[in-house]
Structure 1
């Protein structure tokens, strides 16, 4: 379904995008970050927290490391401030990159089994499919944040994959 090179490229892309997003968010004040904007998760910071929560949850399934300390209902409040979010986002991007750098072809084969935190439903899906979901989930919600930032009068950032720098730093 997918191969390690895809995972590493997308891990780099997402780290790059999260860095550009952080720069854009730093230019907004706290009120702008917390304002209700009619998006699925309400505010810019809520949406950024949800992405971080999802990454933490999926990575705990992939690398068997630490999962989120809060449940799905609290995902939007995973971090209390932009500064806390920024630090956790940096750590998570590093975790995803280190994981992707070590992947071999066989690491992406087989199924992943888990029980959904929110519903208690048991799932079994191809591991590669789940990895694609995690990487795509970031892009989806980051696009919502991009729209909210520009609607708030902030500056957007380039999001096109062909503009991914050839060389890091990715963090």
Structure 2
């Protein structure tokens, strides 16, 4: 389904996108970041926090570590300020890249089992599908942020994968 190279490419793409998104968010004031824009999580800010939380949730599942607290409802307030979010986003993106750099083909085989708070039950799905979902989830919500930024009158970043620099900078 997916390869180790896919995982590494998408981890780098995610970090590159978040770096450019952060620069745009830093040009916006708090009112614009927190305004309810009708997206699933309401605001740019809430959505950015949710994506950070979800990335940490998926990584905790892949690595068998303690998940972030708060659940989906609390995910939207994971960090209190843009500078804190930026630092946590940077750390998480670096972590995802390091994880992807250490993957082997066998790590992409088999099932991942976890208790889904969203579904309220235990779930078992192919690990490769779950990894693909993590990267898709990032792109989905970052796309929502992209649209909200544009609707707020700011110029958004380029999001095409083929435009990504091959040698970085991702972080």
Report TM bin, short chain. Answer: over 0.9
Paired residues of 1:113 and 1:122 also in contact (CA < 8 A): yes
TM normalised by structure 2 equals 0.97
> Matched residue of 1:80: which SS?
coil
Gaps of 5+ in 1: none
1:44-83 aligned at under 5 Å gives the runs 44-83=44-83
Q: For residue 123 of structure 1, what is the aligned residue in structure 2?
A: 123
2:104 and 2:123 map into 1 onto residues whose CA distance is: 24
2:91 and 2:65 map into 1 onto residues whose CA distance is: 13
2:89 and 2:47 map into 1 onto residues whose CA distance is: 13
Q: How many Å apart are 1:78 and its aligned residue?
A: 0.8
2:124 and 2:140 map into 1 onto residues whose CA distance is: 23
Q: For residue 88 of structure 1, what is the aligned residue in structure 2?
A: 88
Q: How many Å apart are 1:118 and its aligned residue?
A: 3.2
Q: For residue 27 of structure 2, what is the aligned residue in structure 1?
A: 27
1:18 and 1:157 map into 2 onto residues whose CA distance is: 10
Aligned alpha-carbon RMSD (Å)? 0.9
Q: How many Å apart are 1:66 and its aligned residue?
A: 4.0
Q: For residue 110 of structure 1, what is the aligned residue in structure 2?
A: 110
Paired residues of 1:56 and 1:66 also in contact (CA < 8 A): no
Q: How many Å apart are 1:84 and its aligned residue?
A: 1.3
Which aligned runs of 4 or more in structure 1 are off by greater than 3 angstroms?
none
